[in-house]
Structure 1
Amino acid sequence: MAEVWAIYISAGIAAAVGLVAAAIAIWGIRTQREIALKRTTLDMISQSERDKDIIEAQARFNDLAKQPAGLAPYAEKDKLATDDVEKIRVVLNQYEIYAIGIKRGIIDEELYFLWFKSGLLTHWRHAEPFITRLRALTESDVLFREFEWLVERARNHG
């Protein structure tokens, strides 16, 4: 009888050790994924802060946004092929990329908002009239939808 109990006890101990090992492995995988996600986000932020095309586009975007009429007049057929509109699109497309990255779990939302939230909301405030006019012009309400989604997330984020 003692031998039977010894078998049960050793089987129970083996099962418990296996469960603890599995729990540690799962915890390790999750921790590494979180670290990788934060690292990817920091790399993306760092790269965008050094990218000359993005920096130039943001500077021009900001200059155009400060004009009395803002960005909306650039969403007209005769201006769509201009360098100024290309700069506006570069900025807006960056936000589209960030939104997709957050949706897909490639970019850490918390870290992203810590760095970009204020700029994101400011850029949206300037870009919204442009986007609205561009959507009407193209009869496409899907233009910059991911950017708009990102803004809503930011507004609801603590």
Structure 2
Amino acid sequence: MPSTKDAEGFIKPIAEEATQQASLFLGESIGFWVQTAAIVLTAFFAAWAVFSARQMTRRKNSADVIFNSKNDKKLRDGIKTISQLHKDSTVELAQFAYDLSNDQTKRDQAASINYVLNYYEYVAVGVKRGIYDEAILKDSSYSTLVHMYEFCQPYIENVRRQNQRPTTWCEFEALAQKWQDKPLKAKRKR
């Protein structure tokens, strides 16, 4: 069997040298690459776990908002008030944006309108920031949210003008307009 002498005069078999060269890949040992692959796979699965947990949290938060909205008497009453005012042809919802200090009923109605708009602003900010899953909320609240926006739009514009704050309820408005642009599609029966 052929052999070579190393620097110290020892004889090394050529087969041993070939084995040593074969254990290198791109200048690194096989052990290095196994360790690197393990680290990369661990990082991938950790990132996947974080992503999955985030999605699950968004879905849970969305379910909580939906459930809580069904149990929020003040919200339900406010939506009912807005719907009744909208149906009453003698009432303009926009008028509730102005000072109503002499009429307690109108003040209460304006407070109900504000409560509903603030609630939907809160939801819209949560959707924008990724706290809530937009698809779940859209599936469950599309009609109510869009109708509340349509009914309250004149009121919103008057409040903005009166208070000189053009961003009042702007996230709610943006979400409602986005949903109007891409409405829910009717599901086919099988």
Say whether residues 1:96 and 2:121 are aligned partners.
yes
Question: 1:70, 1:126 within 8 Å by CA — same for their partners in 2?
Answer: no
Query: 1:19-98 maps to which residues of 2 (within 5 A)?
Result: 19-68=40-89, 69-78=91-100, 82-98=107-123
Q: Distance in 2 between matches of 1:70 and 1:124?
A: 15
TM-score by length of 2: 0.75
Query: 1:111-122 maps to which residues of 2 (within 5 A)?
Result: 111-122=136-147
SS at match of 1:77: coil
Q: Distance in 1 between matches of 2:182 and 2:41?
A: 36
Aligned to 1:140: 165
Q: Distance in 2 between matches of 1:30 and 1:98?
A: 22
Question: 2:75, 2:116 within 8 Å by CA — same for their partners in 1?
Answer: yes
Question: 1:57, 1:91 within 8 Å by CA — same for their partners in 2?
Answer: yes
2:63 aligned partner, one-letter code: L
Identity of aligned residues (%): 25
How many corresponding residue pairs? 158
Aligned to 2:7: none
The CA deviation at 1:4 is: 5.3
TM-score by length of 1: 0.89
Query: Which consecutive residues of structure 2, in runs of 5 or more, have no partner in the other structure?
Result: 1-16, 184-190
SS at match of 2:167: coil
The CA deviation at 1:23 is: 0.9
Q: Distance in 2 between matches of 1:70 and 1:108?
A: 34
1:134 aligned partner, one-letter code: V
Dislocated runs of 4+, deviation >6 Å: none
Flag the structure with higher helix content: 1
Query: Which consecutive residues of structure 1, in runs of 5 or more, have no partner in the other structure?
Result: none
Measured on the aligned residues, the alpha-carbon RMSD in Å equals 2.0
What per-residue deviation string (whole Å, max 9, x for no partner) do you get for residues 40-93 of structure 1? 110111011111111122111211121113412212222697100000011100
Q: Distance in 2 between matches of 1:100 and 1:71?
A: 24
Q: Distance in 2 between matches of 1:75 and 1:67?
A: 17
